[in-house]
Amino acid sequence: MISVLAQERLLGAALGSALTAAVVFENRRNIYKTISENNAKFDNQLQVKRPVLATKSFEFAHLWNKAVDKTFGTVIASLSSCGW
């Protein structure tokens, strides 16, 4: 049989776990509610637009790749023919 002391410890652990779970659940619920409210507030204030830098960086990357291909094209072709 389980002694009275063990039963008290088991009951204390169970109640402590339940209380901790309730507190964590409530805190997470409040955090998610706050995040949702803030997102709704900012969505109404800001219109999402495509950043200008994303387009410019894509164009720059394309020009960079063309320049590298033109500059090192012969080296790449000779290395490819050697099996590299």
Q: Quote the CA–CA distance of 23 and 46 in Å, as a whole number.
A: 34
Dmax (CA) of the chain: 87
d(CA 24, CA 44): 31
CA 69 to chain centre: 35
pLDDT tens digits, one per residue of 13-72: 999 999 999 999 999 999 999 988 888 777 666 555 656 666 677 788 888 888 888 888
pTM: 0.44
Dig out the tokens for 81 from the structure: 């023919």
Choose between 56 and 12: higher pLDDT: 12
Residue whose entry in the numeric block shows the structure tokens 């900012």 = 42
So where are the chain's domains? 1-46, 49-84
50/56 Cα distance (integer angstroms): 11
